[in-house]
Chains A and B, each alone.
Chain A
Amino acid sequence: MIRQLLQLAVTGALLALTGVGASLVFGIQRVANFAHGEYLTFAAYVGLMLNVALRQSLLVSTVGAMLLTGLLALGIHFALLRPLRGRGLVAMSLITVGLGLMLRDVVFLVAGPQIRQYAIDQRAVFDLRLVRLSPGQAVALLVTGLVAPGVALFLARTRLGKSMRAVADNRDLAAISGVDVDRIGAYVWLLAGALAGLGGVMFAAVQGTFDPNLGFQVLFLIFTTVVLGGIGSPYGALAAGTVLGLAMELSTWQGLGGGLEARYKPVLAFTVLILLLLCRPQGLFGKARVL
């Protein structure tokens, strides 16, 4: 029971953090970024390189991955997404699909399709009397426990954070109010990239083993988190990620009338996403926008 709650907390926290970054950029771009999952893949493999090849600790690898992924996201924003803005919803969606394919297959080409894992002793266990944690879970809990409040505070208290929220929420209004939307947009991408970087390494660490399909597998979970929380609402994403993580882990709980088998968890996420888009696209916390 405690084990499940823990797993739930970890999944929820990771989804929440990754979701915050995604929600901000989706709010600014106003188009779904199908390549967002591949930022996580990229991060997981950068982390792998740092951790296994360069023998850095997991913590250092995570920070390195966050930095590099942030820069990648920023670079793609400047090189590709910003110049092509305003092409139309479907055109942008197709472009992000293409981008995602490119990123994922570069990783496949460079790193190979074999299953990987970080240089952490998977059999080691942190015994905390009530519960036992795998190293991946321990690091994930620690890092998200530090980063999540940090991000929340940053968004709530700092000027940059508030500007980010304003632009993600209502770009035109922010622009009229004198916010330099372009500059803030760049910072948002940096933050979203860094958070995706964190998510990528942590998901890989928690899962234990991973391959370049990691990002695509998580993509829809991210979409669901973002839509559930309301596009452009980072606090919504925080809450939604936690709720989604909870729903997915609880759904497999025996106590809930037999429970769903673990392999159906993605189907649950997909179904929730479709239902949301159909019935309540503004999610739990967004405003009902005229689409």
Chain B
Amino acid sequence: MDVLNPAFWTFVGVIAGIYAILSLGLYVQFSLAGLPNFGHVAFMAVAAYTMAIGVTRYALPMATAATLGVIAAIALGLVLGVPALRLRADYLAIATVAGGEIVRYLALNLPDVTGGPLGSIGLLGPGQIATYNEPWQRLLDRLSTALQVPLGTAPTRDLAMALLVWTLAGALLALFRGLERSPWGRVLRGIREDEVAVTAVGKNVVAFKLQALVLGAILGALAGLLLAWQIGVFSPDDYQPTLTFYAYLILILGGMNRLWAIPVGAVAFSLLYSGTRFLNFFPLSLIDSGSRAFLRLFLVGFLLVLFMAVRPQGLLGNRRELLLEK
């Protein structure tokens, strides 16, 4: 596809919106509550798998299957969260990556339950190709038709998806901005600063952290479902730990403490990520398109290091706040 093809950029827009929701989930856990969850991708995986299994194997309606997916992610968050909340920051990071990897390994090695390395295609056993996406596609078509009235022409499925995703993202961002500025958000920010002090003034720190974790799980689940619907198929390889770090990079790019910077970070990240396929000048033209994936990952790593080292407040953040790091 060349750079001017609108279909390509619509697709990028959808992914950017989904990543904005994913990063918002991380924001609640990390920027608000101070929990460095390095295994955030596991919420996506659990929700997507639960939904797909519900639709393909148990013929559940999509809405039910999706809700079960969110509930499964919440359950995972509680199971991991309750013990893990007492851990020191970098131990929590290690434990959550390990937890996320356990989920991925189980998905990879339990073919009877999860379709194994084949992923969602293999959910109905060998010899059958399982798909879950039909109900969602029909929903999108209905949406496209409905949008024909205000827009003049019926948008493509991707465009309808993009509009849907960004409307949802916008609503969620506004919702969480409200939460952030509420007294609830204030307690969380206090916990991020010094949880002993906050305990000493009578707040149940563990309960607040669990709430942040569960909210993060719900958002991660939503992102996972949307991505599964957009792509139509998934496998354990799609839930590598790298995805969590894309979300961290998005938070860092925008500025870790600014909620409204998340869509900026998400768009910037998606442009960077998809844009590498268009960088056809020397020396990058030496790298064939297959290897561009590695270049992109290298870039992600490089930006993580660069921003954390040189500009931790991101593109839009406030340096002063960071100078008061304890």
Contacts and interface: CB of A to CB of B under 8 A. Distances in A.
A95 B90 contact: no
B303 to A, nearest CB: 7
A224 B174 CA distance: 41
A216 to B, nearest CB: 9
Choose among A80, A88, A263 the residue with the greatest number of B CB atoms under 10 Å from its CB.
A88
Interface in A248-271: 261, 263-264, 266-267, 270-271
A113 to B, nearest CB: 8
A178 B110 CA distance: 55
A266 B305 contact: no
B305 A95 contact: yes
A173 to B, nearest CB: 20
Contacts of B302: 98, 102
Given A94-B304, A98-B301, A98-B304, A105 B294 contact: yes
A271 B309 CA distance: 32
B9 interface: no
A270 B105 CA distance: 10
Given A80-B309, A95-B309, A273 B94 contact: yes
B305 A105 contact: no
Interface in B301-326: 301-305, 308-309, 312, 325
Contacts, number: 127
A154 B91 CA distance: 30
B289 interface: no
A147 interface: no
A94 B308 contact: yes
Interface stretch (B81-89, B161-169, B266-274): B81-89
A108 B291 contact: yes
Contacts of B102: 267, 270-271, 274
A113 B291 CA distance: 9
Interface in A70-116: 80, 84, 87-95, 97-106, 108-109, 112-113
A281 interface: yes
A93 B241 CA distance: 14
Nearest to B303: A98
Contacts of A91: 308, 312
Nearest to A100: B301
A205 B87 CA distance: 37
A277 B101 contact: no
A274 B99 contact: yes
B325 A88 contact: yes
A24 B7 CA distance: 52
A133 to B, nearest CB: 29
B298 interface: yes
B279 interface: no
A220 interface: yes
Name the prevailing secondary structure of the B interface residues: helix
A101 B101 contact: no
A31 interface: yes
A288 to B, nearest CB: 13
A165 B93 CA distance: 26
Given A100-B301, A266-B105, A267-B102, A32 B295 contact: no
Interface in B283-305: 287, 291, 294-295, 297-298, 300-305
A105 B294 CA distance: 5
A87 to B, nearest CB: 7
A2 interface: no
A291 interface: yes
A90 B36 contact: yes
Contact of B98 (A89, A104, A270): A270
A223 interface: yes
B108 to A, nearest CB: 8
A101 B297 contact: yes
A88 B83 CA distance: 23
A278 interface: yes
A101 B240 CA distance: 12
A87 B89 contact: no
B296 to A, nearest CB: 8
A84 B304 CA distance: 13
Given A98-B301, A109-B291, A90 B89 contact: yes
B245 interface: yes
A88 B36 CA distance: 12
A89 B294 contact: no
B308 A98 contact: yes
Contacts of A98: 245, 300-305, 308
B98 A274 contact: yes
Contact of B304 (A97, A106, A266): A97
Interface string B90-124: 11011101110110011001000000000000000
27 contacts: A31-B90, A32-B94, A80-B309, A87-B309, A88-B325, A89-B90, A89-B93, A90-B30, A93-B89, A93-B93, A94-B245, A94-B248, A94-B252, A95-B308, A97-B38, A98-B245, A98-B300, A101-B301, A104-B297, A105-B297, A105-B298, A108-B297, A109-B291, A223-B98, A274-B99, A281-B88, A281-B91
Interface of B: 30, 36, 38, 83-84, 86-91, 93-95, 97-99, 101-102, 105-106, 109, 242, 245, 248, 252, 287, 291, 294-295, 297-298, 300-305, 308-309, 312, 325
Closest 7 interchain pairs by CB? Answer: A101-B301, A98-B304, A105-B298, A102-B301, A98-B305, A108-B294, A89-B90
